[in-house]
Structures are given as structure tokens and as C-alpha cells.
Amino acid sequence: MISEELARRSVKKIDDFDASTFSRVREEYINILCREEYGTPLPEPEKVWFEELPLDFAAKRFAAGKAPKQRVIAHTVVCGKEFSFPFWAIIPKADGKYPFIIHNDFEDLLPSKYTPAEEIIDSGFALFSLCYTDITSDDGDFTTGLAGIVTPDPAHRAPTDSGKIQMWAWANMRVMDYAMTKADKLDLSRSAVAGHSRLGKTALVTGMLDERIKYVIDNESGCSGSALAAGTAGEKIADITKNFPYWFCENYKKYAGVETLPFDQHMLIATIAPRRVLVGSAAEDYWADPPSQFLCCAAASKAWENLGLTGLVASDRAPEIGDDFRDGNVCYHLRAYDHYFSRFDWNVYMEIMKNK
Ligand code: GTR
């Protein structure tokens, strides 16, 4: 069923490569995805330093005092200008090296609706949480925040100038820079970046660009994230470029309504090989289109197979509620109900990270 459906949708196969030619193919995919969809990646900062704010009483007592809730300010110099943003760092006090998750969230709050901080700590993880609008607003304003610094002419964006997803991804990488300074307390071989919906798209772009991230957790990102555009029954490029043009570069608008695309989202997932990609879908999330997310994972799998690894290991049929395919390096689950970053989803991702 999978290969017939991919052929019916005319999804281009991932190229043949081996370990020695992968970096060239990966580079090509990154170039096309950045030029045509997300925009040019932001430059690395010229300088980065971190300020850890003093802990108040509540911060010291966070989660019964198991793990202080540290407010950190990331200071950077980028394109010759200073840019700073805050995030939370929660590293358990007890001895050990912790796997960790960088979660780009919709709120500057911890715990939050989508971030069950104490449960994450209790599962044996360290957690970093940032709020995407502290980086740049979620709208077409390119004059303020990080956008105001990196966009040469906000009134006339050039075709490949980065969209907001690239900016949120850049901030994830700065939090990863901070994690690198805590190597005594963190297991750097089990580093994850996570996000839901538009921030799931952001997690994938972060994983594409930053090989320090070993697990990419994409919860229900759908269109322009982990769902194939070709043949989708959910949100289309025409919808997303009409409603949220500023998430992308201007070039992406060219693909609204185009039937046969020269690239698709499986290429984005393929750039993350040989690292791990964990994708979650919700059965009633028709806009994200779970079957197109599942097929995207299946189509991307060839990248892992080319490297002698397993990609998605799944039944050869459309996904069903309760499916939890976690045997390969591309994992996919489909749970019941609607669009949400639920405790159920977190548990699936954390169990996989603990066992692989
Ligand atoms: C929707 C958008 C989706 C998804 C979602 C979200 O309206 O069409 O692509 O990203 O928003 O981020 O909440």
C-alpha cells in the first residue's frame, strides 16, 4: 500500500547515496528547502554568552526542590547587533548525566499547557523551555525582535530572506549552545528539540540545520512540517502561504496550487538521518492530515536505509489509532482525539529516548 500510494502521489524518491556521498545530497536538500521554502538560515552569532539570573525562593523549590527552575538570558551579537532572549533551564540536582529536551513553546510559562515540566523531570530528563514570541512576533512584522536585525529590508523581503520559522529555529540552536556548556550534567548523545504544530515545523528545521540535535520531536506539525504536500487531504501550500506567509520565504508562494513539486517534506526529514526523528499525529487532526505525515516518514526512510539503518518500521497500510511504530530510527505514532501536545505524546517520545 505505501509504495503504491507514494507512486500515486508522484512523490520523488529520496536519491541513492551511501555514507560517503550523503553529505553532498544532504547539502543539496538543505539548499533547496531553504531557498524555496524556509529562507536562508540565519548566520551564526558573532558572540553568545549566557546570564543565569539569581534563583528566588520558588525557583529553588521547583518540583519539590529536585531541580531548580533557572531563568537564563541568552545574549548574542548577530549581524553586528545585540539580541537577547530568555529561557528556562531545569536540570535535576541529583548526580547523573541527563538526556534533555529543548522545547520551543507557545507560552513563557513553566509548567504550561503543553509542557508538563515536573513529569518530564520525574521521567529522568532535563528540560529547556523557550517561548517563540520572545524571539520574533508570530505575524508579518519583520521590523522588531530578531527579525528586525536579520531582515535587510523588512518592507521588501527578498525571495529567499528567512521566514519566522528559521528565526525560531535559530533560537533553539542558541539554547543548544547553552546545553553544550553543561556537558557535566547532560548526556549530549541524547539531545532533543521538540515542538508542536508550527513549532513542530520549527523543530524539524532545527534538526535539519544542527547536527548536535540527536532526536527531533515533531508533534502534529502537518503542512510544511512532517506532512507530504503531494496529494494531501489537509492543509495545502496554498492555504498556509495565504494564512501564514511570514513563516516562510517569499519563494514558497510560487508552489501554491502546484501539482508536481520539485521537493517535498520527506526531504526535510531525510536531512536528519542518521539521527532520530519522532513524529506524532492525532486522529481528528484532519488539517495536519495523519496519513500524509505517516507517508512522509515512510518516504524519508530510504535515507536511513541508504546508510544501512532502519527508517520507519511500520505495517504496510494507512495508520490506525493506537499505532506506535518505534522500532526504527524514524518513529511514528497515531493517537486518538485532536490537535494538542498531550501528556500521552510526551510519554511516547520520552520512552523512545530512554530506550534507544
Ligand atoms: C494552523 C496552521 C497549521 C499549524 C497550526 C499551529 O492554523 O494552519 O499549519 O501550524 O496552525 O501551529 O497551531
Confidence category of residue 54, pLDDT binned at 50, 70, 90: very high
- Residues assigned a catalytic role: 197, 339
The widest CA-to-CA distance across the chain, in whole angstroms, is: 60
Q: Candidates 168, 235, 247, 340: which one to mutate for ligand 1, based on the most atoms within 8 Å of Cβ?
A: 235
CA-closest candidate to residue 165, choices 188, 193, 125: 193
Q: Is the CB of 218 under 6 A from ligand 1?
A: no
Between vectors from CA 348 to CA 346 and to CA 349, what angle results, nearest 5°? 65
Protein residue with its CA nearest to atom 12 in ligand 1: 198
What's the number of CA atoms in the CB half-sphere (13 Å) around residue 234? 25
What's residue 174's pLDDT?
A: 99
What's residue 356's pLDDT?
A: 76
> 0.95 cut: is pTM over it?
yes
> pLDDT by residue (tens digit) across 280-336?
999 999 999 999 999 999 999 999 999 999 999 999 999 999 999 999 999 999 999
Query: How far is the C-alpha of 15 from the C-alpha of 262, rounded, in Å?
Result: 13
> pLDDT by residue (tens digit) across 219-271?
999 999 999 999 999 999 999 999 999 999 999 999 999 988 999 999 999 99
Q: What is the 3-state secondary structure (H, E, C) of 27-71?
A: HHHHHHHHHHHHCCCCCCCCEEEEEECCCCHHHHCHHHHCCCEEE
User: Rg (Cα) of the chain, in Å, rounded?
Assistant: 19
Q: Are strands 330-335 and 276-282 parallel, antiparallel or unpaired?
A: parallel
Q: Candidates 106, 197, 221, 293: which one to mutate for ligand 1, based on the most atoms within 8 Å of Cβ?
A: 197
